[in-house]
Chain A
Amino acid sequence: MQDSTVLTQPTAIHTTTKGQLWRSFGRMTWIQLKLYSREPIAFFFTLIFPVLLLAMYGIIWGNAPGSGYYQDYGYIDMQLPALTAVIIGTVGLMSVPVSVATNREQKILRRFKATPMRPLTYIAADVAVNYLVALVGMAAVIVVGALVFNLRFAGSLPAFFVGFTLATLAFIAIGYIVASLAPTARVAQVVGQLIFFPMMFLSGATLPLFLMPEGVQQVAQWLPLTQLVVLLQELWLGVGWNMTAVVVLLAMLIVGTLVSARLFRWE
């Protein structure tokens, strides 16, 4: 016991290899996907609820040309990108803060921290899973829209996909700020809802902005979700890139990533 020299290393030092990192990332992503599929409430809000909204719009307004704001397109053509924005908002501002803060509060992250797994592996898997969920949510409304309501698409698919990806990552980054700042999962949930719900109704994501009073429309222009709706609508209808929206979302992504990288806590 009094010996002060320390055991010399008999075997090679195991460092984590690149293949190992990918294996961890793959396994983590797969398990997170499985866990997500076992959350009935999250499942409902990201995958079922938008489809129900779409069906409601279709039944009330139909999708005949001129039924929306645009002459050549119908109400559904205009609101489908807006529903996609709702899905992105739900994932970024509701799912991410609650799941990350819950995992921290329940000491699940603490146990991860005691393994050789890199913190970035966990975060990358979490972001990938939330991105995939948003993607599947969007696919569900598109499929229903196309099959039931004769959906029209006038934009460029790659451009819409890039816009979708930028927006989803930007909202997830904001969600990570909420998760990092909230002391408990409960607070994360309430803050996420306080940010998301007013935006959902004022941004044109659920009801088109042209139906709103002038004053509300003015305020709504300043909301990030409005910018997202505008970006996706204009990409969908072939108008092109709305640069204001791109700048807003890029700023959200950069600020969100930098701030949450600084503030993120494992316990």
Chain B
Amino acid sequence: MNPVISVNHLHKAYGTTVAVDDISFNVAPGEIFGIVGPNGAGKSTTVESIMGLREPDSGNVSVLGLNPHTQRSAVSQRIGIQLQQAALPDRMKVWEALDLYSSFYTNTIPWEPLLEEWGLGDKRNARFVNLSGGQKQRLFIALALLNDPDVVFLDELTTGLDPQARRSTWDLVADIRDRGKTVVLVTHFMDEAEALCDHVAIIDHGNIIALDTPARLIEQVDDELRVTFEVDGPFSAEILSSLPQVSDISRSGRRWTARGDARNLLSAVVIALEQNAVRVTNLQTERASLEDVFITLTGRQIRA
């Protein structure tokens, strides 16, 4: 399928500092495309070039077949933007913001249902300054959806939200995608990218260092699965270490850990334990996460 966004050899420097060196990728229609990377990696510059807020030094960017720099007005009519750093006037009321922003677009959807949908129905007359962090964030998402956009950009959407608000926001983002919109998600939360994104580009030092589905990225870096369990009664480690699927078995206190290839370890371990009538409690599986991929590839924590 033809891409909604196409970035080819994007390059952008500020003075002598190269923000984006050479970045190329395509975003397919209807997917959630994640852009992750440490602070200062070039994420914002990349996304702002796609939105038409910055002019690339070289390279091509195309959004919905349009050039976001030379056709900025046409592009901005069809995209929705939630910026990491943005605000409304303190004394502006929620409904006034939606009403004002509606006047900027040629095609809009009614804002009253949006207000309900994003849980702001009872905040209609509240001033911006009196909203909580989560409410402000949801208002900005509602503003990003006012023009019924084809592409929605969400930049550090859940930063500053409590865990519960983060999870419910994830559901809403998946919901946006399920309504047929393409979503570009910029985040430094690896669990968020792993849970939501169909494809993830990891950016570091102005270049893409990995681009794939979260599952395949994890597989490439670490295809080991760990099965851990506690045993009630007699147990000989031989039962498992003799299995071809198990590469290693170890013990820490009452807890055993069997390691092996992610694709067939679990069933082999469970069957062997069952056949030998071992009474197992608290069985868990662990495997690498996108966070591990990130640390392996960049050699550092995301928030060092």
Where the two chains meet, the residues of A that have a C-beta atom closer than 8 Å to any C-beta of B are 1-9, 13-17, 20, 23-24, 26-28, 31, 34-35, 38-39, 103, 106-108, 110-111, 113-117
Assess whether B2 is in contact with A3, with CB atoms less than 8 Å apart: yes
List residues of chain A with CB within 8 A of the CB of B140.
Answer: 111
Q: Point out the residue from B74, B76, B88 that lies within 8 Å of A115, measured CB to CB.
A: B76
Q: Find out whether the CB atom of A17 lies under 8 angstroms from the CB atom of B106.
A: yes
A13-B74, A17-B106, A110-B86 are known contacts; what are 17 more A-B pairs with Cβ within 8 Å?
Answer: A1-B3, A3-B1, A3-B26, A6-B2, A9-B65, A14-B74, A14-B106, A15-B73, A20-B103, A26-B103, A31-B96, A31-B100, A106-B89, A107-B87, A108-B88, A111-B140, A114-B83
Given B8, B53, B77, which contacts A116 in the complex, CB threshold below 8 Å? B77
Q: Mark B63-89, 1 if CB is under 8 A from A, else 0.
A: 011100001011011100101011111
CB contact under 8 A between A28 and B100, given known A8-B2, A17-B106, A20-B106: yes
Number of B interface residues in the complex (CB < 8 A): 44
With A23-B103, A28-B103, A35-B91 given, is the CB distance from A107 to B6 under 8 Å?
no
| Interface contact tally, CB-CB below 8 A | 107
Contact A6 B3 (CB under 8 A): yes
B4 at the interface (CB under 8 A from A): yes
List, in ascending order, chain A residues with CB within 8 A of B83's CB: 107, 110-111, 114
Is there contact, CB below 8 Å, between B73 and A116? yes
Contact indicator A114/B1 (Cβ below 8 Å)? no
What sequence of 0s and 1s flags, for each residue 55-68 of chain B, a beta carbon within 8 Å of any chain A beta carbon? 00000001011100
Mark each residue of chain B from 1 to 28: 1 if its CB lies under 8 Å from any CB of chain A, else 0.
1111010100000000000000001101
CA distance A24 to B18 in the complex (A): 37
- Which 7 A-B residue pairings sit nearest by Cβ, starting from the closest? A111-B86, A27-B103, A7-B2, A14-B77, A38-B91, A117-B104, A116-B76
